[in-house]
Chains A and B, each alone.
Chain A
Amino acid sequence: MAVIVNQNKCVGCGACVPACPFDAIVMQEGKAYITEKCTMCGACISVCPVEAIYREEIERTVSMDKTEYKGVWVFIEQSEGQVKGVAHELLGEARKLADELGEDVAGVLIGDQVEGMTGELFASGADKVYLVEGPEYSHYNTEAYTVAFVDLIKTYKPAAVLVGATNDGRDLGPRVAARTRTGLCADCTGLSIDPETRLVIWTRPAFGGNIMADILCPDHRPQMGTVRPKVFKRPVADPSRTGEVIKVASKVKAEDLKVKLLEIISVCTSNCKLEEADIIVSGGRGMNKPENFAAIEELANVLGGAVGASRAAVDAGWKPALHQVGQTGKTVGPKIYFACGISGAIQHLAGMSSSDTIIAINKDIDAPIFKVADYGIVGDVMEVLPLLTAEFAKYKASCK
């Protein structure tokens, strides 16, 4: 169970050394050696020109009848009577995966009085909806939702489960996966089916977006993953589609729940709902002072968009953390993303590079943001922003 260098084949070319993301290969006396830093990712295997590196396969002791597990499930995240956009995006992706496998798509809808939402789930691609209802599910709760979800998995045995990589999804996914003792791939940005093995290939960024990894879950079921919101497009609703609603009784008693929700404080006005926004105007260190964010907010207002901020702007206290876009903030995928005075560190790009169109304004022509921007204005952001706001206001007025 390791990645091994066949010393007889190794020609000492050193190609594997820089290919290792973990700095785990050293050259000694003209041969490559793998150190204990190795995580067995296998990045070195494909770069070796003489096929001297191989993965020693381990004997799997799992005896699970995988053929019993069928269908692609989507956790339907909802709150305040609304299905979250990510649930529709995942139904669209699940549909593609299921069609390739020749299997069904099912939505897992857990909530209080949510049956009315089933229609739109069918319209987005579901064939079935597993419905668990009760007052104990009126707001997301780790324990209650885990009990309901695990019960469904054990009874109905899906091949794959997709959960939105939202705060709640990333709270629920690992709890469900640990209870069912299966694999969970975090925060995926790509999904496909391996034609040979019919396994889901989960693609995700790692190392702060510097590298991507394809991950498989070969021997455990269900294969599970959390999937980043806004990476996939919401499918066009087909209201003629119908499906089957399977009502399942709740196995949770309210008094069993240890964590109690006392209060919800919504500090978010529409301009910080970045995940659902079609247009985002973001500011970074180049805005120079907090007052200058007013120019960002004006453009966002005119466009009906949300306001984002880079980590530098949040760390400086110019904007609360709820506005932060990037690896440790929110991941966004709007139609248009304005990056104003943002240099474009890789951690920021990781959070916004799936935007349809990126427009950058920066006075530094060498700023990395220009490498990913579709349109870049080289100039003083405080001079450009008001002009841009005025132009868009004129454009909006002309559309009416």
Chain B
Amino acid sequence: MEIVVCVKQVPDTTEVKIDPVKNTLIREGVPSIVNPFDKIAVEVALQLKEKHGGRVRVISMGPPQAADALKECLAMGADEAVLVSDRAFGGADTLATAYALSTSIEKMGPVDLIICGKQAIDGDTAQVGPGIAENLGFPQITYAAKIEVNGNVIKVDREHEDGYEIMEAPLPIVVTVVKSIAEPRFPTVKGTMKANRAQIPVWTAAEIGADEKRIGMPGSPTQVRRIFTPKQRSQGELIQEETAQKSVAALMQKLSDAKII
């Protein structure tokens, strides 16, 4: 089975803090990590390979340092990695990113299954996976909580607001995965050493044969016009009476006064 996993290198947004005085992001010391959902996608791919054989390749579009994210995936056990990197890709929105990645995947040869994390934690768009599927003419199943492959057929439990939808489709397909599907493994020492030695090929826009009108800024219909820090909710009232009983009574009174109840 030929599996390709799309990964993104992201700043660890859980480490991002806001400077309370200047009201700006403090980026100092925020590490770059593999998007957590993508790491889960790599784990799912490795499990499927262990069961069905084949090959797991990881692909990322990003600046040269995104190679570190790919090395982490190699250390987990992925067989090969490709970095799609070129200044011409800069400023890409989800449409241009999906185009660059799907064009690169076409260059990789026949693929049975493409797995993506459900979304990246920096942009939270969840749009690149379906975009890749559309460009390749593949069907898609998003929010997969369980995957089984039987010959040429994939069965997926798709997470829904109220439960699950059990779906079935022929390969090839694009699947995006949620957190509960698997726990990503830790890289082995041997894997890490191998990953550190790996030479990751870098594909440029010309090498993937990209239409320059569809990549980077020119290929991105959306433009960020302004970035600002959100208005914070103002702090309300703290209630701290001597006993819990009195605190609860005070709360009920305040809710009643404010006509909330």
Contacts and interface: CB of A to CB of B under 8 A. Distances in A.
Q: Do A and B come from one complex?
A: yes
Interface of A: 1-2, 18-23, 36-43, 46, 58, 60-61, 139, 142-143, 146, 166-168, 170-171, 173-175, 177-179, 181-187, 201-202, 205-220, 258-268, 272-273, 275, 321-322, 327-328, 330, 335-336, 345-347, 353, 357-359, 365, 370-380, 383-384, 387-388, 391, 395
Interface string B22-37: 1011111010000001
A22 to B, nearest CB: 8
Interface residues of B, number: 96
A215 B218 CA distance: 16
Given A18-B25, A259-B169, A357-B255, 5 more contacts: A36-B90, A186-B123, A210-B13, A267-B164, A377-B247
B226 A167 contact: no
Contacts of A1: 90-91, 216-218
Contacts of A218: 223
B95 A384 contact: no
Contacts of A322: 159, 161-163
16 contacts: A18-B26, A21-B227, A40-B224, A43-B227, A142-B139, A178-B135, A187-B124, A210-B230, A213-B227, A216-B222, A261-B167, A264-B165, A266-B163, A321-B179, A357-B260, A359-B251
B19 A186 contact: no
A107 B165 CA distance: 26
B150 interface: no
B87 interface: yes
Nearest to B178: A321
A369 to B, nearest CB: 10
A42 B165 contact: no
A186 B126 contact: yes
A373 B226 contact: no
Nearest to A320: B180
B80 interface: no
A328 B64 CA distance: 28
B131 A206 contact: no
A345 B126 contact: no
A219 B249 CA distance: 58
B163 A268 contact: yes
Given A220-B221, A259-B139, A376-B238, A18 B22 contact: yes
Given A36-B90, A260-B168, A183 B220 contact: yes
Top 10 A-B pairs, shortest CB-CB distance: A183-B221, A208-B13, A374-B236, A186-B125, A183-B222, A178-B134, A174-B127, A174-B130, A220-B221, A268-B162
Contacts of B133: 175
B254 interface: yes
A181 B157 CA distance: 29
Contacts of B247: 377-379, 384
Interface of B: 11, 13-14, 16, 18-19, 22, 24-28, 30, 37, 63-64, 87, 90-91, 93-95, 98, 119, 121-131, 133-135, 139-143, 155, 157-170, 173, 178-180, 213, 216-218, 220-230, 232-233, 235-240, 244-245, 247-249, 251-252, 254-255, 260-261
A372 B27 contact: no
A214 B227 CA distance: 6
Contacts of B221: 181-183, 217, 219-220
A41 B121 contact: no
B119 to A, nearest CB: 8
B184 to A, nearest CB: 14
Given A18-B19, A167-B143, A328-B179, A206 B244 contact: no
Contacts of B121: 208, 327-328
Contacts of A201: 225
B134 A175 contact: yes
Contacts of A139: 165
B162 A259 contact: no
Contact of B251 (A260, A262, A328, A377): A377
Contacts of A373: 235-236
Contacts of A371: 232-233, 235
A187 B124 CA distance: 8
Given A171-B140, A218-B223, A377 B248 contact: yes
Contact of B90 (A2, A184, A216, A379): A2
B223 A216 contact: yes
Nearest to B230: A212
B176 to A, nearest CB: 9
Contact of A175 (B130, B233, B249, B260): B130
B126 to A, nearest CB: 5
Nearest to A205: B230
B99 to A, nearest CB: 8
Nearest to A182: B221
A276 to B, nearest CB: 9
A219 to B, nearest CB: 7
